[in-house]
A = this chain, B = another copy of it.
Amino acid sequence: MNHQQGNVSEAVRALQAQFGARVSVLPDICAAHGRDLSLHPGMPPDAVAFPESTEEVAQIARLCSAHHTPMIPFGAGTSLEGHVAAVRGGVSVDLSGMNKVLEVGQQDLDCLVEAGVTRQQLNADLRDTGLFFPVDPGADASFGGMCATGASGTNAVRYGTMRENVLGLTVVLPSGEIIETGGRARKSSAGYDLTRLFIGSEGTLGFITKVRLRLTGIPESISAGLCAFDDMEGAVNAVILTIQMGLPVARIELLDEKAVRGCNAYSHLDMEEKPTLFLEFHGSPQSVKEQAERFGEISLEHGGGAFEWATREEERNRLWTARHNAFYAGLNMRPGSKALTTDVCVPISRLADCILETKADIGDSALIAPLVGHVGDGNFHLVFLIDPDSAEEEREANRLNDRLVLRALAMGGTCTGEHGVGLGKKALLAQEHGSALGLMRTLKHAIDPQDLMNPGKILP
C-alpha cells in the first residue's frame, strides 16, 4: 500500500471549517469512537465527524483523501473485533445521525433506510405493516454496520444473513464518488455484484450510506420454547438431524450449562442447568404445530426433555431477551470481568465434534467461557470471562481462541461466521484464505489506492 504522509490536522481544520460543531476533537468523543464492545484496546481517532447526508459523507471523503487522512465509518459501535479502532488515527465518520427510514414498499416487501437506522428502530417503524426485517444479530446494530460485517444471528437459519437480505446500497468511495449498487428487482444478472462486495468489507472499501432491504411478512403463527438435554452431544445431534431433515426452524439456539446458569441469574429465569436449545417455529398454525411435533420426536431420540412452550408474545420476548443478553449474563457471572468473544462456523456434520473438543479444551483450562450458538448454521460463540488486569488470562483466552479457530478450519469451517475479521482475526484469515488474500489485496488497492478507508483491518 502507498502510505503517503497524511496531514490529519489540516484535514480536521478543513472539516471544521465546513461542518462547524459537527466535527469534534473532544477527547471523550474521540475515545468513544475508537472502541467497540470487544476487548481490543481502544484507539481514538483525531476527530469525529457527524454527517447528515450522503453528499456530506462524500465531502468528508474528498477532504480526507486530499489530505491523505484515514477515515473510519462508525455506526452503533457494537462490533466485536476492534473494527472501529483508529489504528493510524484520522477521522471517525459517525453515521448515527443518518437515521431515517426513507421508503417502505409494503407491496414489494422492501424498504430503503439510511445507514444509521438500527434494527430495532426499523422493526418498531414497521409495526403496523405486517412486515419485519428478520436478520437479528442480538445487538441493536445499525444497518450500515450490519452490512459492513455481513451480520446474521438467530434467524439466519431460516431467513439468511445480510448477504441474502440486502437488495442494494448507496456507497461513498474513498475518492468521494457516490455510487448505487443493486436495485429493487428481486434478482438481477446485470453486471458485477457490487452489493455483496461491500457486504462484509468492514468499512475498508467505502462508506455505506443507504441500504435497500428485503422485508418479510410476519408469520401468521409463531411459537417458541426451550428444551433441555441430558448432555451436549445429544443437544447438538438433535440440531444436526433437524437441519439434515430440512425442518424449517426459524431459530435454533444452543446454550451450554454455563450459559444457562448465567442467564438464570441475569434474567431471573429458572431453567435447568443443562445444555438447552431455544427454538422458534414460524408458519401457518398447522405447519408450526407439525414442525414442533417433528422436533419433539427428534429431541426425544437424543435425550431431550419435555418442551417448555412460550406461546404468548411477552413470554417469547422474555426468552429471546434472555438469549440476547447472554453476553451480559456472562459478564455478570464474574463481576468485574471483561469478555473476549469469539465466533466460528463449521459444516453441520462437524458441529458436535467441534463443540465437544472445544468444551474439553476449556475444561482443561482455568478460564470460564460460556458457549452459545446459532447452531442451525453450525455457528457458535465462546464468551471468555477474564480479569481485565490479568495479562495471563488474556493470553490464555487468546490461546484457546486460536485453537478453536484452527480446529474449525481443520473441519472445513471459517474463522468467523458473523463477527468479521477486524483486528482480531487477521492472522487467522490468512490461514483460511491463503490463496485468495492476494486478490483481496488487489481489490482493496484498486478501490482505495491510498489505503485510507479503515486502514489496518481485515488484511494481514
Contacts and interface: CB of A to CB of B under 8 A. Distances in A.
Contacts of A296: none
Given A192-B201, A435-B178, A458-B191, A417 B164 contact: no
Interface stretch (A66-74, A260-268, A341-349, A391-399): A341-349
Interface in A195-225: 196-197, 199-201, 205, 216-217, 219
B378 A179 contact: no
Interface stretch (A6-14, A180-188, A310-318, A328-336): A180-188
Interface residues of A, number: 87
Nearest to A425: B190
* Most chain B beta-carbon contacts within 10 A, residue among A194, A199, A425: A194
B439 A189 contact: no
Contacts of A196: 163, 193, 196-197
A53 B316 CA distance: 53
A433 B105 contact: no
A184 B412 contact: yes
Contact of A194 (B152, B183, B191, B436): B436
Interface in A397-412: 412
A33 interface: no
B414 A185 contact: yes
Given A109-B244, A290-B286, A421 B183 contact: no
A418 B245 CA distance: 30
Given A190-B421, A191-B429, A164 B173 contact: no
Contacts of A18: none
Contact of A349 (B107, B180, B190): B107
Nearest to A241: B107
How many copies of the polypeptide does the oligomer hold? 2
A416 interface: yes
Contacts of A240: 107
Interface string A67-91: 0000000000000000000000000
Interface string A376-389: 01110000000000
B458 A105 contact: no
A418 B347 contact: no
A447 interface: yes
B185 A417 contact: yes
Given A284-B290, A412-B183, A439-B173, A191 B379 contact: no
A177 interface: yes
Contact of A416 (B110, B181, B189, B216): B189
A438 B173 CA distance: 11
A408 to B, nearest CB: 8
A160 interface: yes
A414 B188 contact: yes
Contacts of A419: 189
A184 B347 contact: yes
A442 to B, nearest CB: 5
A22 interface: no
A149 B347 contact: no
Nearest to A411: B184
Interface in A334-383: 345-349, 377-379
B345 A186 contact: yes
A206 to B, nearest CB: 9
Interface in A430-446: 432-433, 435-440, 442-446
* Most chain B beta-carbon contacts within 10 A, residue among A186, A346, A412: A186
A410 to B, nearest CB: 12
Nearest to A149: B189
Given A192-B197, A192-B458, A196-B196, 9 more contacts: A108-B347, A178-B435, A180-B433, A185-B413, A186-B379, A189-B416, A189-B420, A192-B443, A193-B197
9 contacts: A107-B240, A109-B244, A163-B193, A164-B164, A180-B435, A181-B436, A191-B433, A191-B458, A443-B446
Interface of A: 105, 107-110, 149-152, 156, 160-161, 163-164, 173, 177-181, 183-194, 196-197, 199-201, 205, 216-217, 219, 240, 243-246, 283-284, 286-287, 290, 345-349, 377-379, 412-421, 425, 429, 432-433, 435-440, 442-447, 458-459
**Top 10 A-B residue pairs of the complex, sorted by shortest distance between their CB atoms:** A446-B446, A107-B349, A188-B414, A184-B412, A196-B196, A217-B246, A185-B345, A150-B189, A185-B414, A108-B347
